[in-house]
Amino acid sequence: MSSEKLIDLLNPSKDGDLGELIGRARQMGELTGILCKSLPAADQGAIVAANVRDGGELVVICASSAWAAKLRYRSDKLLKVALDAGINASSCRVCVSQN
C-alpha cells in the first residue's frame, strides 16, 4: 500500500474509511483527558476511558472496583465537567474495565 493511500485511509477529515473511527477515538481521548484533569492529582489515573453513548449517557471506565466506588461518588461532578466542556450528557455511569 502506498503512503498516499495510507494517509487517505487514516485522514479523519475524509468521509468513510477509517476517518470517522479515528475522529471518534480522538474525541473519546479528549473527553477522558478532560475528566481526568477534573479529579484530584492522586486520582487522575483512575479513569481508563470515557465515552458518551446515544441518548446522552456519559460512561466512565475505570481500572478497578475500588476506583469505581470513588468515581460513583463524583459522578455528578464528572457530568458537570462534561457539560461544561460542551458534551451533551444527561446521566453518568461508572464501569470497571474488563481487562
For 13-29, the pLDDT digits (tens) are 655 567 778 888 899 99
Domain boundaries, the chain: 3-96
Q: Which three cell numbers stand for residue 92?
A: 453518568
Residue 33 CA to residue 96 CA, distance in Å, equals 18
**Confidence (pTM):** 0.79
**Domain 3-96 class?**
alpha beta
What's the pLDDT tens digit per position in 54-89? 899 999 999 999 999 999 999 999 999 999 999 999
Orientation angle between helical segments 75-84 and 19-37, nearest 10 degrees: 120
